Amino acid sequence: MTKSLPSEAEEQRVIIGKVGAPHGVAGEVKIFPLTDFPGRFAAMKAVMVGEERLAIAAVKERPRHLLMKFVGYETRDKAALLTGKLLTVSRAEAAPLNDGEFYTFDIIGLTVKDAQGETLGKVINVLSTGSNDVYVTELASGGELLIPALKKVVTGIDLTAGEMTIDRQQLEDG
């Protein structure tokens, strides 16, 4: 799963990072990755920063963040204007996933049904627990249901139909 979320822009965008404070006097800013694919930054030539597409002049990796310099933002004062803005890419530029993997923003909003087709509710959040993700589902009858993202429990995900199918028996036995 990825931590990336879509922005509210007209074209669906995937958030991959956030600009922090300027670093030094030459226009570098701290970038805090918000993606499971932080290695992507080294190969990037441009990225949307807020509503502006900016060419990337340089990227340096640090243990907890990156340092990035953008063309046209060569001073500390200019770079400071970017602080707090989100870095996004188009859905088409999102990192490819393996079969059976989904982005978090694809899962949130899915209608959850059991094997008999009974609608249980909608996924409202995805929790990353370390061993496996957990889909927080708001039940139609009220309350929440926590569904572990395990193949024996989640038997199907159909993004086109906007549905997730679960095996209630496995959930209850789990």
What pLDDT is attached to residue 11? 59
pLDDT at 12: 78
Domain 104-173's class? mainly beta
Listed by start position, the domains of the chain span: 13-93, 104-173
DSSP-derived 3-state class of residue 82: coil
The C-alpha R_g of the chain, in whole angstroms, comes to 19
Instruction: Give 60's DSSP letter.
Output: E
Q: Beta strand pairing status for 111-114 and 163-166?
A: parallel
Q: For residue 46, what are its two tokens? A: 């441009």
Quick one: pLDDT at residue 174? Answer: 58
Per-residue pLDDT of the chain (174 residues; tens, 9 = 90+): 333 444 343 457 888 999 999 999 999 999 999 887 788 898 899 999 999 999 999 999 998 899 999 999 999 999 999 999 999 998 888 878 888 888 888 899 999 999 999 999 999 999 988 788 999 999 988 899 999 999 999 999 999 999 999 999 887 775
Residue pair 54/70 in contact by the 8 Å Cβ criterion: yes
Q: What is the pLDDT of residue 88?
A: 92
From the list 2, 1, 85, 90, the residue with the least C-alpha distance to 44 is 90
Beta-sheet strand order (sheet of 119-128): 144-148, 133-139, 119-128, 111-114, 163-166, 154-158
Q: Note whether 97 and 106 are within 8 A (CB).
A: no
What angle is formed at CA 80 by the lines to CA 74 and CA 82, rounded to 5 degrees? Answer: 95
For residues 93 and 4, the answer to whether their CB atoms sit within 8 Å is no
pTM: 0.66
How deeply is 121 buried, as exposed, middle or buried, from its count of CB atoms within 10 A (0-12, 13-18, 19+)? buried
As assigned by CATH, the class of the 13-93 domain is: mainly beta
